[in-house]
Amino acid sequence: QNNFGLVIHGGAGTILKKNLTPELEAQYKETLEKAARKGYEILQNGGTSLDAVEQTIHILENSPLFNAGKGAVFANNEKNELDASIMEGKTLNAGAVAGVTNLKNPISAARKVMENSAHVLLAREGAEEFAASQGLEVVNPDYFFTEKRYQSLLHAKQNLSDDSKSAYVDPYINDYKFG
């Protein structure tokens, strides 16, 4: 038991040691540790759990290693469509955004929806417009481009001729299970 603490994740799936080089494994661990330390500092200094969650997730969103923010996978239309949500246990207030393409940190948009709107979930252009009106950082969608994720999309398209399938299922590539 702890008076305070936190847990973070960066996705689950077919993550096998043989698929990660020692260098890449070290990068993942370093980023996870950096995020955990950030959250700890906030909590240790008396910050709120909401602040810890938001700022910890910023570190993960800003890393190209994870499927969120920069490093997010590509949709079929070759855009990065981002979703996020946040919830406060004291009030049961919650906020979320879906399908946004130009918000650097979607988790902050979710928090703005929770705190500054009468709604829980805003989607796509409306969510983007609301977040911009709240002063959140808007970026060119190119900001989210990473070569690795783009190649995964091209690979997926090559391997899916059945149009009824909307997502790529490949047990040897982590992307699929990160959803």
Partner 1 sequence: TVGCVALDKDGNLAAGTSTGGMTNKKWNRIGDSPIIGAGTYANNKTCAVSGTGHGEYFIRANVAYDISALMEYKNLSLQEAAKEVIQNKLKNMGGDGGIIAIDAKGNLVAEFNTAGMYRATVDENGTITVGIYKE
Q: Which of residues 3-32 bind partner 1 (CB under 8 A)?
A: 3-17, 20, 25, 28-29, 32
Q: Closest approach of Cβ 135 to partner 1, in Å?
A: 19
Could you tell me the CA-to-CA distances from 108 to 24, 53, 100, 137, 142 in Å, in that order?
28, 10, 12, 9, 20
Does 131 bind partner 1 (CB under 8 A)? Our answer is no
- Out of 124, 133, 143, 148, the residue judged to bind partner 1 by CB under 8 A: 124
CB of 131 to partner 1, least distance (A): 13
E strand or H helix at 100: strand 94-100
Confirm or reject binding of residue 116 to partner 1 (CB under 8 A). no
User: Which of the residues 134 through 173 are near partner 1 (CB under 8 A)?
Assistant: 144, 149, 152-153, 156-157, 160, 166-168, 173
101 binds partner 1 (CB under 8 A): no
76 binds partner 1 (CB under 8 A): yes
Distance between CA atoms of residues 128 and 98, nearest Å: 10
Q: How far apart are CA 68 and CA 54, in angstroms?
A: 13
Handedness of CA 108, 109, 115, 121 (dihedral sign): negative
